[in-house]
Structure formats: C-alpha cells, structure tokens
Amino acid sequence: MQEIIKSLVQKNNTKIVMIVLDGLGGLPLDGRTELETARIPNLDALAKTSATGLHVPVAYGITPGSGPGHLGIFGYDPLEWQIGRGVLEALGLGVELKSTDVAVRCNYATIQEGLIKDRRAGRIPTEKARKLTERLQKEIKQIDEAEIIFTQGVDYRFAVVFRFPEPLEEGSAEVNDTDPQKTGKPPLKPVPANHQSDRVARIAEKLVERVREILRDEEVANFILMRGIAQVPLIPTFEEVFGLKSLAIAIYPMYRGLARLIGMETPPVNGDIKEEIEFMKDNLEDYDFFFVHVKKMDSYGEDGDFKGKAGKFEEFDSFLPGILELNPDVLIITGDHSTPSVMKSHSWHPVPVILNSPYVFGGLSQAFTERECLRGELGIFPAIRILPLALANAGRLKKFGA
C-alpha cells in the first residue's frame, strides 16, 4: 500500500494537523464512557461537521502498545514494522541511531544479597542519576567489538546503545529482559533466543557485571536492569512515503523517538497542551504535517481515574478553538489506542476518529464519543488508512490509473 501511495503523492501548500490524544478510547462506567461524561462542546461541534469513525490500531482483538499504536496512525503497518522499546527510548533521548546499533532501556536499581530490593532505585532524581550515567560512560567505552553509549533519561531511567562495526543479522537482538518484574527476585541473565543473538547477549552480560563493579559502593543505585533490547529497523521515512515535511510536537521522549525513527523533526518541547499548540503556531509556515501528542488521558486511564481522564478531555476541549483558528486544511483528532479506566490498561477496542476538511459529508455524528463516531462515514477501519485519507482530503494524491 505504501508503494502505491508513494507513486500518487503530489506536492502542494496544504497543512495537515494530527492531534493524538493518547489512550483516547474508553468503556462505560455506570452507562457512560469518559468521552460521554466529559463536557466537550467544541469537540462535539467539530464532530458534527466532520467525517468520523473508529479505527482499529493493529488488528481485531490485538491490544497495542504505544509504539504500534502510533505507527498505525502514521501509515505504517505495525505487523510489518515491529520496533523495540529500547530503540524508541534511545531515539526519544536524542540519540542519533545507526543501522549498526542495538538499543536498550535501562533502570537504575537496588540489589542486596543477590536479590532485587528496588527495581527503580528509590526513584532517584534525574541529576543524581545523570552523575552515575556520566561515571559509567567515563569508565565503560567499549565491550568486545561494540562501542558503548550511555544517555540519561528522566529519574532512574537511561538508555544504552551497543554500536557494532557492521550491521547485524536480522534477529540479532532477541535477548530477554534482565528485569524480573518483582522485588525479592534475582536479576535475570540476558539469554539469547537464537544463535544470531549470542553477541548481543554476551555484551549485555559483561556490561551488567562492569556496572555492578563500578556502582558497588552506592547505597541505592548499585545495579541496573535491562529492558526492551532491540535492533534499529530499516524503515522508510515519512517524507519518502507520504511527501510530507513533518514536525512532531511531543513532551515525552518516547513519542519524539518514534517520530524521529520515521524522519520527523522532533525539537524538545516543555509544558503541556497550551505550549504544544503555541509551538505549532510558531512553526506553521515551515512544515506540511504536524503531529501533536497529548499524553495524560492514557495516564489517567491506566490509573483507573475515570474522572481525571474525562477532565483531561475537557481541558483539551478548551484549547481546540485555538487550533481551529490556525485553519489547517485537514485536521485529524484521534488516539493511538484505547485505555479504558475500568480496565486500567490499554485495550483492543476501536479508537474514535475525527477527520475535518471541506471534502467530507459530516452531519452523521452528533458528538465526539465512541458510539456517535460509529455512526460516521468512516465506519470501523484500519488505522493505517488514516494517512491516505488525510492526503486525499489535502489534495495531495493524484488519480490512480487511467
């Protein structure tokens, strides 16, 4: 499908804005979902004049993580392009990854008598962790044939990159996490799933031992746990496929990392919805496509905070007029997945979509809710169809065939 789209793309001056309300979809509590409970008059009014529907992020019954959820709405089949969390974490922290790299998400942790006492090292502050990371980088520059690159994240989190002198075989980073996911357990050994992964597993094991020796006198952060060991995939860029010069506006590193992976520009942004919208406004003339990520709906959903999630919708709704004042040619509002508060987790449920442009029917949905979006002209459809629809509504696709 991407090859067909690529062959039909044509340039013009239209602007496409995609707002991603993370964890948008929900389920009823006492008969109403979070969207149905929230007072969102601006979103409701927009839904009345827009094409609406529900998208399936990956496939029916499949619960997506954040990476696959975003890939789908960006037009990449998540079943074809499977991206590890280590890669997303490193990219989000600003690491310019190469095709020879393996990336790992890491936590500082506390170990005592061979057992994990605290998987997050007491949630040590970022500045304390940064000093430890700098110390590790100073003392560990290479293990066997791989260059070792440390990058500090937020609080107890950081990323490590194994940079090899040549690209690895496919499947070379299939090594299990070392985090046992529970305290009172010993850390797991990095075990390769196949013979291609032997090199990565060996380097991971040596790294853990080196770090343990260096941090042995620390009271709290005296160990590390590895998660999401992953290779960098060779994925076509967003501009190559869809012909769009794109800007990602996201507060959280992982979402900037995902956007950077497909070639979007990802400058750091601080604040929340207001600051993100202001940033988009300031850069409106320089890009064709804007991805704006709004996080907290997902966080409230995972906490089981139904009221908090509904309140975050109301907060976003108050800023919607400022987005509409920018007059984007195509405006998409959707989510990467559903996070129902009643489940306290991501779920497989279809996700509401608004697609607003001058070239839609509209008038079929009376509000922006799961049930009302089901009445819309888009119906229930795969997430990977959102980008082609956006391009068509922006006049950026030529006719197919004679």
Q: In three state form, how does the secondary structure of 253-286 look? A: HHHHHHHHHCCCECCCCCCCHHHHHHHHHHCHHH
Q: Is residue 33 located within the same domain as residue 156? A: no
Q: Is residue 285 located within the same domain as residue 320? A: yes
Residue 237 carries which DSSP code? -
Q: Is residue 207 located within the same domain as residue 282? A: no
pLDDT at 368: 98
Would you report the helix, strand and coil content of the chain in percent, each value rounded to 5?
35, 20, 45
Interval 171-199 mean pLDDT: 94
Q: How confident is the model at residue 33 (pLDDT cuts 50, 70, 90)?
A: very high
CB of 172 closer than 8 Å to CB of 200: yes
Last residue of a domain, one of 231, 246, 262: 231
Q: How confident is the model at residue 82 (pLDDT cuts 50, 70, 90)?
A: confident
Residue 400 lies in a domain: no
Interval 318-339 mean pLDDT: 97
d(Cα 382, Cα 60) in Å, to the nearest integer?
9
Q: Is residue 104 located within the same domain as residue 216? A: yes
pLDDT at 258: 86
How many residues can be counted in the chain?
402
Residue 271 lies in a domain: yes
pLDDT at 4: 93
Handedness of CA 86, 94, 262, 65 (dihedral sign): positive
pLDDT at 67: 87
CA dihedral 391, 243, 261, 71 (to 10 degrees): 20
d(Cα 54, Cα 380) in Å, to the nearest integer?
5
Handedness of CA 187, 193, 194, 199 (dihedral sign): negative
Q: Is residue 184 located within the same domain as residue 258? A: no
| Range of the structural domain that residue 150 is part of | 87-231
d(Cα 55, Cα 73) in Å, to the nearest integer?
9
Q: Is the pLDDT of residue 286 over 90?
A: yes
Q: Is residue 241 located within the same domain as residue 385? A: yes
Q: How many other β-carbons are positioned within 10 Å of the β-carbon of residue 225? A: 23
Q: How confident is the model at residue 206 (pLDDT cuts 50, 70, 90)?
A: very high
Residue 313 lies in a domain: yes
State the maximum Cα–Cα separation within the chain, in Å, rounded to a whole number: 73
Q: Is residue 39 located within the same domain as residue 74? A: yes
Q: Is residue 267 located within the same domain as residue 383? A: yes
d(Cα 370, Cα 353) in Å, to the nearest integer?
9
Q: How many other β-carbons are positioned within 10 Å of the β-carbon of residue 226? A: 23
CB of 205 closer than 8 Å to CB of 230: no
Contacts of 367 (CB under 8 A, 6+ apart): 36, 43, 44, 47, 48
Residue 27 lies in a domain: yes
Residue 402 lies in a domain: no
Q: What is the CATH number for 78?
A: 3.40.720.10
pLDDT at 159: 96
pLDDT tens for residues 91-114?
A: 878 788 888 999 999 999 999 999
Interval 35-53 mean pLDDT: 98
Last residue of a domain, one of 183, 204, 231: 231
Q: Is residue 200 located within the same domain as residue 174? A: yes
Count structural domains, the chain.
2
Interval 138-167 mean pLDDT: 95
CB of 161 closer than 8 Å to CB of 135: no
Q: How confident is the model at residue 261 (pLDDT cuts 50, 70, 90)?
A: confident
Interval 259-266 mean pLDDT: 91
d(Cα 65, Cα 79) in Å, to the nearest integer?
12
Interval 341-350 mean pLDDT: 97
Q: How confident is the model at residue 253 (pLDDT cuts 50, 70, 90)?
A: confident
Interval 126-138 mean pLDDT: 96
pLDDT tens for residues 218-244?
A: 999 999 999 999 998 888 999 999 999
Interval 282-306 mean pLDDT: 95
Tokens encoding 93: 């922290």
d(Cα 159, Cα 152) in Å, to the nearest integer?
6
Q: Is residue 102 located within the same domain as residue 51? A: no
Residue 382 lies in a domain: yes
Q: How many CA atoms lie within 13 A of 278 on its CB side?
A: 7
User: Which of 219, 227, 232 has its CA nearest to residue 153?
Assistant: 227
Q: How confident is the model at residue 284 (pLDDT cuts 50, 70, 90)?
A: very high
Last residue of a domain, one of 180, 205, 231: 231
**Average pLDDT, rounded, for the chain:** 95
The label of the residue with tokens 């959280």 reads 252
Interval 175-193 mean pLDDT: 95
d(Cα 174, Cα 141) in Å, to the nearest integer?
23
Residue 179 lies in a domain: yes
Q: Is the pLDDT of residue 281 over 90?
A: yes
Interval 151-160 mean pLDDT: 94
Q: Is residue 52 located within the same domain as residue 155? A: no
Residue 398 lies in a domain: no
Interval 27-42 mean pLDDT: 98
CB of 369 closer than 8 Å to CB of 35: yes
pLDDT at 297: 95
Q: Is residue 225 located within the same domain as residue 274? A: no
Phi and psi at residue 109, to the nearest 5°: -145, 170
